[in-house]
Amino acid sequence: MNASSVTLGVISSGRGENLRYILQEERSGRLPAHVGIVLTDQPDAGALKIAKEFSVPGHFIDPTNLCREEYDQKLIAYLEAEGAELVILTGYMRILSPQFVRHYKDRILNIHPALLPSFRGMDAFAQALEYGVKWTGTTVHIVDEDVDHGPIVYQRPVIVLENDTHDRLKARIQRAEYKAYPRAIKMFIERRPEILGRKLVWQREEK
């Protein structure tokens, strides 16, 4: 990847607010990349509206009657046609097939609303409250063939307050995500990490 011209392909299922903040950082010139395409598995996904707002090509790809491998092959076709070099997942609710993960090996990033490896899976906010932790947060990680498992790129902590509610904690973690994801993408592009087991070894100093 050339740090001055990395093409991002974004895949989303939901509101797409992380996409908005990534696009804002791109348009400001602070993110050395551009979003080339946005793909969703939901026809009313907010990510499509945000893509339209920023004049980015956006496509709903209907998963009906397609197995996981067939669907992911369609995703790959769109991403390849746009020249996507780095795949960014923003609230994507489908599990990627091994075929897809191998095709973009070590070039897929995801964001999870917890400090991995804690609270993998669904509703990490409820898990954090149930366990009574004092800190949780958000993690940007490389996607591998397991769920919420790949090497960690960047983490941002969020305090859990006394008598916190699910919605209040969720809102604070989401605000942390909006800062964390663009920063992690920038780090990943500029510092070119080498993956050694579960760790990243950064090849360049952070700017």
Cβ-contact 34, 8 below 8 angstroms: yes
Map tokens 């095709």 to a residue.
Answer: 103
pLDDT computed for residue 198 by the predictor: 86
Catalytic residues: 112
Beta-bridged to residue 37, according to DSSP, are 9
Dihedral sign computed on CA atoms, order 15, 18, 24, 27? negative
What CATH class has 1-105? alpha beta
Given pLDDT bands bounded at 50, 70 and 90, which one contains residue 148?
A: confident
Q: Tens of pLDDT along 149-159?
A: 899 999 999 99
Q: Is the pTM of this model over 0.85?
A: yes
Q: What is the pLDDT of residues 128-138, one digit of tens each?
A: 999 999 999 99
**CATH 3.40.50.170, the chain: domain bounds:** 1-105, 111-140+154-207
**Distances from the Cα of 91 to the Cαs of 17, 104, 114, 122, 203, in angstroms?**
9, 18, 14, 11, 29
The superfamily (CATH) of domain 111-140+154-207 is Formyl transferase, N-terminal domain (3.40.50.170)
Higher pLDDT, 58 or 2: 58
